[in-house]
Amino acid sequence: MNKLTIDDVLLKGKRVLVRVDFNVPMENKTITDDARIVESLPTIRKILDDGGRAILMSHFGRPKGKRNIDYSLEPVVKRLSELLGKPVKFASDCVGPEVQNIVDGLRDGDCVLLENLRFHAEEEENDPNFARELASLGDVYVNDAFGSAHRAHASTEGITHYIRPAVAGYLMKKEIDYLGSAVGTPARPYVAIIGGAKISGKIDVIQNLMNKVDVLLIGGGMMFTFYKAQGLEVGSSLVEADKIGLAKKILDEARSRNLRLILPVDCVVADRFEKTANCKTVPVDQIPAGWMGLDIGKDSITLFVNEIRKSRTVVWNGPMGVFEMENFAQGTNAIARALADGTKRGVVTIVGGGDSAAALAKVGLEKAVSHVSTGGGASLEFLEGKMLPGVAALTGK
């Protein structure tokens, strides 16, 4: 990583302004998954242990630039205090005289969480004045919110024009190191598994990975658009009609490059989109009219798992089927287990956030792979080969 990190700066006595990602799932103001808070702890503890004053800022939800108590970060303070084992202060705004007074009153080793950045429309607008006001709260800026690094917002990009050094926290560094090795210098054979409903959301990832991987496995709803491109009938399965030509182009390109692009050979089909639907497994060229494919079949699972077993690096982004329904979760669960088994054998296994991370967690394997990205959109854009504004803005070594 060619950016300065938190280990490269002196923190003692400094006001350390930290962009974290506390956009956690919440129900009735109770946190239902604190993983993002837990992931931020190494960076926060480093600051506090070194005698710095941690000023944490984050967004939460989509309050659309207006103060809305339903999107307050105050419930996070209690959980963060418990995890750190010390009280964390809370500021009822992220800028203004009250916030400045709280920050001025901090002592070495103190920590404060500012209120939701997105209560101000200027955050997402990357307003220079708002960025300057945020920057005035700190002496050092740390970005540890990889999940927001693909957005050029005031707290991720604009702020770095007014405060230096701007460095990466431990979570940011971990994300970039893992994803960077996956797209830069992977151990081979390198296998990518791409799933999810639609090609349109993954096209840039597929095209970029085609330049890098040895094997590309494609599952999920998008596989039916590829079947259509091969002239197969897919019943009432999901198809992006306007992407059939693109799917054909990808298949042709893979063939011309001798890239092993592998599609499922069978699938689980159902007579309706319900967990109580009648379902059966059929070859991909025998999908009945009126039935829809909702998972990859047993032979496809064997095919995919065998490729994973031969790999040294695996990147997985997107489920193999409608894993939220047990009848159609077998393909996704099998991939999760194969990655966990591979990790035990020393395979580098990287899971790109979102539904794939949820699927891992559902079968209790979220700790059994090398790395689960905390940033769905950010990890996708990184794998697409794009430079993330929040990373580019950090101080270089």
- Among residues 198, 248, 298, 337, the one annotated as catalytic is 198
Q: Is residue 157 part of a domain?
A: yes
Judge if 133 and 191 occupy the same domain: no
Tell me the pLDDT tens digit for each residue of 249-274: 999 999 999 999 999 999 999 999 99
Provide the CATH number for the domain around residue 51. 3.40.50.1260
pTM for this model (two decimals): 0.83
Q: Which pLDDT tens digit goes with each residue over 303-323? A: 999 999 999 999 999 999 999
Q: State the pLDDT confidence band at 29, using cuts at 50, 70 and 90.
A: confident
Q: Does residue 28 register a pLDDT over 90?
A: no
Residue whose pair of structure tokens reads 């319900």 in the numeric block: 274
Domains contained in the chain, number:
2
User: Is 354 annotated as catalytic?
Assistant: yes
Decide which of 174, 207, 222 is a domain's last residue.
174
Residue type, 241: A
Q: Is 36 a catalytic residue?
A: yes
pLDDT at 185: 82
Of 148, 174, 200, the position where a domain reaches its end is 174
Mean pLDDT in residue range 217-237:
96
Are 120 and 196 members of one domain? no
% of the chain at pLDDT higher than 70: 100
Determine the pLDDT at residue 385.
Answer: 77
SS3 of 117, please?
helix
Residue whose entry in the numeric block shows the structure tokens 């990009």: 157
**Dihedral sign (CA 175, 178, 181, 182):** negative
Q: Which tops the pLDDT comparison, 362 or 282?
A: 282
Residues 103 and 161 in one domain: yes
pLDDT digits (tens, 9 = 90+) for 62-73: 999 999 999 999
Claim to verify: residue 198 and residue 137 sit in the same structural domain? no
Q: Are residues 125 and 220 in the same domain?
A: no
Residue 17, domain member (yes or no): yes
Q: Which two tokens stand for residue 294?
A: 């909702």
What is the chain's mean pLDDT, rounded? 93
Grade residue 178 by pLDDT with cuts at 50, 70 and 90. confident
Per-residue pLDDT tens digits for 127-156 = 999 999 999 999 999 999 998 999 999 999
The pLDDT-based confidence of 353 (bands split at 50, 70, 90) is low
Reported as a pLDDT band with limits 50, 70 and 90, residue 386 is confident
Q: What is the mean pLDDT of residues 223-246?
A: 95
Confidence label for 240 from pLDDT (cuts 50, 70 and 90): very high
Whether 375 maps to a domain, the answer reads yes
What does the chain come to in residues?
Answer: 397
Q: Out of 3, 15, 36, 202, which one is annotated catalytic?
A: 36
- Active site annotation includes 109: no
Of 101, 85, 308, 104, which Cα lies nearest the Cα of 193? 308
pLDDT in tens, 83-132: 999 999 999 999 999 999 999 999 999 999 999 999 999 999 999 999 99
In a domain, 180, yes or no: no
Among 152-161, 310-319, 349-358, the range scoring the smallest mean pLDDT is 349-358
Weakest mean pLDDT among 52-56, 211-215, 372-376, 393-397: 372-376
Domain that holds residue 141: 6-174
Residue ending a domain, choose from 129, 152, 174: 174
* 159 lies in some domain: yes
377 is catalytic: yes
Q: Which two tokens stand for residue 263?
A: 């599609």
Domain presence at residue 181: no
Confidence at residue 284, expressed as pLDDT on a 0 to 100 scale: 97
In terms of domains, do 193 and 138 share one? no
194 and 338 together in one domain: yes
- 287 burial type by CB count under 10 A (0-12 exposed, 13-18 middle, 19+ buried): buried
| Spatial distance between the Cα atoms of 169 and 173, rounded to a whole number of angstroms | 6
How many CA within 13 A on the CB side of residue 392? 12
Angle (CA) 322 378 296, round 5°:
20
Domain check: are 207 and 322 in the same one?
yes
Contacts with 217 (C-beta within 8 Å, 6 or more apart), sequence order: 191, 192, 193, 194, 262, 304, 307
Residue 384: which pLDDT band, with cuts at 50, 70 and 90? confident
pLDDT for residue 306: 97
In a domain, 397, yes or no: no
Give yes or no: residues 236 and 147 share one domain.
no
Residue 64 sits in the same domain as residue 138: yes
Q: Which of 147, 169, 195, 354 is catalytic?
A: 354
Token couple for 28:
């009735």
Please check whether residue 363 lies inside any domain of the structure: yes
Residues 152, 190, single domain; the answer is: no
- From CA 111, how far away is CA 52, in angstroms rounded? 9
Whether residues 201 and 241 fall in one domain: yes
